[in-house]
Structure 1
């Protein structure tokens, strides 16, 4: 009996969910591996910061790096910045839960478990250091002392501590400055790897928070090139003995425009369409077409709709104006506009528009690929705005 309709769907369009085939990120992973080897050998290594738009897979990349460090015996702590949770509290929670993943008998594991179990303080170089459910570091000074203790123990094992922080742009300026100062202080003589991720304006925020930007290496996390996009779609199906017809694959790669989230979403719905027609070993162009309405429904009510509905009056006016300017030539719509043109169309000065523009950039809805230029950060959002505004 053919059980192909019972095969699990191998595509993962959820935010932060690891795809079955993590492709197009080998250069970034190689950089992280180099940082680890440098620090293990006692050499200095730059801090890595991966920047990119939402939906390109920064979170997946950072979690993969975490897993690679863990596999090499490091304490690797992945944190995602959230308004309601401090870095100190999050670090304590994740670090104390990581002890069992460390090499049995290692000095780092013994030190971490001792810090967590004491719940009081551990005297290290005359300073009281504690880590546990009831004793999270209260300040960045406390976090620095905990990290110094753990890094010193890891150094004796020939390993280190990796502090991996996602959504760095969400940290308030003062806290971002304190965090960078902490990291730069410790990395001078201890095996502390700092790897961050954030939106495209993060380098500007960090440069305002610290003067030591030469210690940071910024790496882009971009849309996937066509060969990588094809592999991201084909590989998961191939694992299950399912083949993508060339026209079907070409269509998904074209619609998605290399945007990783779209690749997973369109492939997921094409798979479901193939399942609905019965046992299958191939995905056709008809399956892709049959899945498009569901993709569009999800985007209109989810990714597009949720972002559009959150906009304030001035923000909505700004993005509608952007969309109209981009479509001013219906035969050749543009993907990019000048901020000066938007301001002029609104009858305002650039300075007057600045707070609205910066708010939209910080939300991740638009970005500035070059000075004075603006683009929507998600493919297809211009068309969505035009439909909502009645111009499309």
Structure 2
């Protein structure tokens, strides 16, 4: 039997757990018409919380209402690729015949690095407007999704300006973006973007948090049974608790537990083997990637946190690292923005990524 779990970055799982309310808001924004706040949405969260999956699902919701979707990432040449996608849709006899275009699927354009002039950006705006003229006659519109947003993207600034104009014109247009907390914070704090920045600050911003373990349990059981196997109740509970509600780990644990089972019944022993394999892969796929982006002093703070069995007090971390309290608070903010730690109470922090404490202890 094919493994139903999908522990691949950006892959849509068989069951999307704990995100129904957020997607319902996007769906409502599409149906409600111009001016709905969900027409401009930003998803943020730590690595592995499902930001890219949310973009895919938002596009699926829009397509269910007959909208066209252009999927992009905030890499150099993004606005040129969006313009090319709009041109391809405009050139079709029936623009609705092609419902989704990804930036990387537009032949040859995906790798172009273009520094756009304001004139070219204006051209993209008017081309989108012509496409919307056609779509709005049929009662539909255009959604653009942008992954990996960051403050250094000139194209993203221009796209925000285009979006601002389209919103003022009450066009059937929506944009959904996603990025790491640090990148989104930098984007919204950047003074270089002036009133465009103010416009983005009014976007619907959602931080993707962990999922309730009970919801994980139900999703694991349903996925297993829907695909022809059974799972013992104690095994299902152990598997759910091992994920800590972390979306990527839900798929990773499910994948390795499924692989560990020899027959149609998944036992507690299968779960134990699968969880061990999943934790090892998590270290390679997520934990090491997150740590690679941090400075040596950031890592000093995390190692100091690893000495505690639970939340750490900032006063203790300052003492362990030899930092002044003010400097320790600076690194606390940096790690919060990076999505590596979370606030755990007044003057306390804890790890945001599951098994990061164990990962650090094993390497200290």
TM-score by length of 1: 0.76
Secondary structure of 1:211's partner?
helix
When residues 335 and 143 of structure 1 are mapped into structure 2, their CA distance, relative to the original with a 3 A threshold, is farther
Q: Distance in 2 between matches of 1:137 and 1:72?
A: 34
The residue number in structure 2 matching 1:252 is 239
Q: 1:286 aligns with which of 253, 264, 269?
A: 269
Deviates more, 1:173-182 or 1:244-253: 173-182
Partners of 2:144 and 2:201 in 1: how far apart? 19
Q: Following TM superposition, by how much is the alpha carbon of 1:310 offset from its aligned partner in structure 2, in angstroms?
A: 5.8
**Distance across 1 between alignment mates of 2:113 and 2:146:** 21
Q: Which residue of 1 aligns with 2:254?
A: 267
Which structure 2 residue ranges, 5 or more long, are not aligned?
102-108, 191-196
* Correspondence for 2:228: 241
1:264-290 deviations in Å (ceiling 9; x for gaps): 111211111113xxxx22111011112
| Contact 1:243 1:282 (8 Å CA) reproduced | yes
Q: Which of 160, 170, 180 in structure 2 is aligned with 1:180?
A: 160
> Partner residue of 2:116?
138
Matches within 5 A, 1:58-207: 58-82=51-75, 85-92=76-83, 94-95=85-86, 105=94, 138-139=116-117, 140-168=121-149, 170-172=150-152, 176-189=156-169, 190-201=171-182, 204-207=185-188
Structure 1 distance, partners of 2:153, 2:330, is 17
CA shift, 1:50, in A, is 2.1
Q: Which residue of 1 aligns with 2:305?
A: 322
Structure 2 contact 50–247 (Cα < 8 Å) conserved: yes
Aligned to 2:255, the other structure's residue is in SS state: helix
Aligned to 1:296: 279
After superposition, the C-alpha distances for 1:321-377 in whole angstroms (9 at most, x for unaligned) are 2222xx1xxxxx223543x54334322235545775555455443355788654333
Q: Which has the larger radius of gyration?
A: 1
Q: Which moved more, 1:187-196 or 1:208-217?
A: 208-217
Paired residue total:
344
Q: What is residue 57 of structure 1 aligned with on the other side?
A: 50
Does the C-alpha gap of structure 1 residues 16 and 203 become closer, same or farther in structure 2, counting only changes over 3 Å? closer
Q: Tell me which residue corresponds to 2:31.
A: 37
Distance between the aligned counterparts of 2:163 and 2:346, measured in 1?
30
Q: Pairwise CA RMSD of aligned residues?
A: 3.4
- In the alignment, the residues of structure 1 paired with residue 113 and residue 231 of structure 2 have an alpha-carbon distance, to the nearest angstrom, of 54
Q: Which residue of 2 aligns with 1:335?
A: 311
CA contact (8 A) 1:35 1:45 kept: yes
Structure 1 contact 73–159 (Cα < 8 Å) conserved:
yes
- Can you give the 5+ residue segments of structure 1 that lack an aligned partner in the other structure? 1-6, 114-130, 328-332
SS in 2 for 1:187: helix
Q: Report the secondary structure of 1:53's partner residue.
A: coil
1:27 maps to 21
- Separation in 2, partners of 1:252, 1:137: 49
Judge conservation of contact 1:81–1:171 (CA < 8 Å) in 2.
no
Correspondence for 1:15 = 9
Q: Distance in 1 between matches of 2:344 and 2:173?
A: 32
Match of 2:204, SS?
Answer: strand
* Counterpart-to-counterpart distance in 2, 1:367 and 1:145: 43
Q: Is the contact made by 1:367 and 1:377 (CA closer than 8 Å) also made in structure 2?
A: yes
- Contact kept in structure 1, 2:141 and 2:173, CA below 8 Å: yes
